Amino acid sequence: MHSVTLEDAQTHLSELIAQLQPGEEVQIISGQQIVARIIGATQVIRQPRQPGSAIGTLTIVADDEDHLQDFKDYLP
């Protein structure tokens, strides 16, 4: 984690962001106070989807027409 002044951050913001590593933090200081922090975004590495990985997660309780009565005004 390092610090830069507000003036430097305004002048070189695009360079600061380009140099940030994922999870790295830069503190922006005005006077003696921290006024902001910029944190590099971490990239989430997603695993490829596997066919059949959702088997068993959906349960159909019953095939009935009673619940459709609530929607009879909307059905053709």
Q: Check: CB of residue 38 under 8 Å from CB of residue 25.
A: yes
Write down the pLDDT at residue 10.
Answer: 93
Write down the pLDDT at residue 24.
Answer: 93
* Chain segment 11-58, per-residue pLDDT in tens: 999 999 999 999 999 999 999 999 999 999 888 888 898 998 888 887
Output the CATH code of domain 2-39: 3.40.1620
* Chain segment 46-56, per-residue pLDDT in tens: 889 899 888 88
Write down the pLDDT at residue 75.
Answer: 76
CB-based burial label for 6 (10 Å; 0-12, 13-18, 19+): middle
Write down the pLDDT at residue 59.
Answer: 75
Distance, C-alpha 69 to centroid of its chain: 40
Write down the pLDDT at residue 1.
Answer: 76
